[in-house]
Amino acid sequence: MVRIIKTALKWIARTLLFLVGFIVLYLVTAFVASRITVNGNAGGGHDVAIYIKTNGVHTDIVVPVKNDIADWSTEVKYSNTTGNDTGLHYMAVGWGDKGFYLQTPTWADLKFSVAFNAVCGLSTTAMHVTFYGPLAEHESCHQIWISRAEYTKLVHYISGSFQKGADGHFQYIKTNANYGSNDAFYEANGSYCLFFTCNTWANSALKSCNQRACLWTVFKTGIFQKYEKGQ
């Protein structure tokens, strides 16, 4: 019996040591990779203004609802929001775990099953779209000017993240889990996991249109550091 207990304790200690080591390695790698800049010489385009916007944890890509390159309102309809405010001309787009989006309005509501499925890539994903009026720049919202060709690439990336139905249209999620009167959810492609988060998606969106971005990131901090004044 004593030998069994010793063996069990040894395996528990090894498991805990592995977990601690993995977490430390994960955080160190995420920190270092997020400080490495790709597309460091980006800039020069001045055709379309987009934004990166954060709530402190999650990064959204903000684009015009409509211009001569893309009219998002044909798929992301104002009428799918409770406000139905067609006077809002910007659209913030975020990608993330569907369970987090729809079942976790606050951190206090977080369930172990939702967190476990998200971390392990076992759940589905959703697009969260929020309509905005004019945006002011501040530490949580940065404007980025890009060229028409770059915006076309970004449109392709974002559109490809929406899951399309048999009819070829974005799949609206009817829910009461909205955050306000001007947002809606849609089915998304891809799996959320420990190595590809909502911020990884946003970072990849910037990469797709040749803008400054992190080599790899799972947090928002590295993204926003690329757009601080003087950078």
Summarised one tens digit per residue, pLDDT across range 123-166 is 799 999 999 999 999 999 999 999 999 999 999 999 999 999 99
186 near 91, Cβ under 8 Å?
Answer: no
Query: Which of 77, 78, 90 lies closest to 49 in space, CA to CA?
Result: 90
Note whether residue 60 is domain-resident. yes
Beta carbons within 10 angstroms of residue 99's beta carbon? 22
* Residues sharing a CB contact under 8 Å with residue 62, sequence separation 6 or more, in sequence order: 50, 51, 52, 53, 90, 91, 92, 93, 132, 135, 141
Note whether residue 25 is domain-resident. no
Identity of the amino acid at 7: T
In the prediction, which pLDDT does 121 show?
67
Summarised one tens digit per residue, pLDDT across range 66-123 is 999 999 999 999 999 999 999 999 999 999 999 888 877 666 666 767 667 766 666 7
CA distance 61 to 77: 18
Could you give the number of structural domains in the chain?
1
63 near 161, Cβ under 8 Å?
Answer: no
In the prediction, which pLDDT does 41 show?
85
Note whether residue 127 is domain-resident. yes
Identity of the amino acid at 121: G
Domain that holds residue 101: 36-225
Note whether residue 20 is domain-resident. no
45 near 210, Cβ under 8 Å?
Answer: no
What pTM was estimated for this model as a whole? 0.91
Note whether residue 21 is domain-resident. no
- The encoded tokens of residue 136 equal 């002011």
CA distance 144 to 211: 9
Note whether residue 154 is domain-resident. yes
In the prediction, which pLDDT does 62 show?
98
49 near 89, Cβ under 8 Å?
Answer: no
- The encoded tokens of residue 224 equal 């926003």
* DSSP class of 226: T
In the prediction, which pLDDT does 215 show?
98
202 near 227, Cβ under 8 Å?
Answer: no
In the prediction, which pLDDT does 12 show?
79
In the prediction, which pLDDT does 187 show?
98
Identity of the amino acid at 39: N
Residue 230 has pLDDT above 60, yes or no: no
SS3 205: helix
Summarised one tens digit per residue, pLDDT across range 24-78 is 898 999 999 999 999 988 777 889 999 999 998 899 999 999 999 999 999 999 9
Summarised one tens digit per residue, pLDDT across range 172-198 is 999 998 999 999 999 999 999 999 999
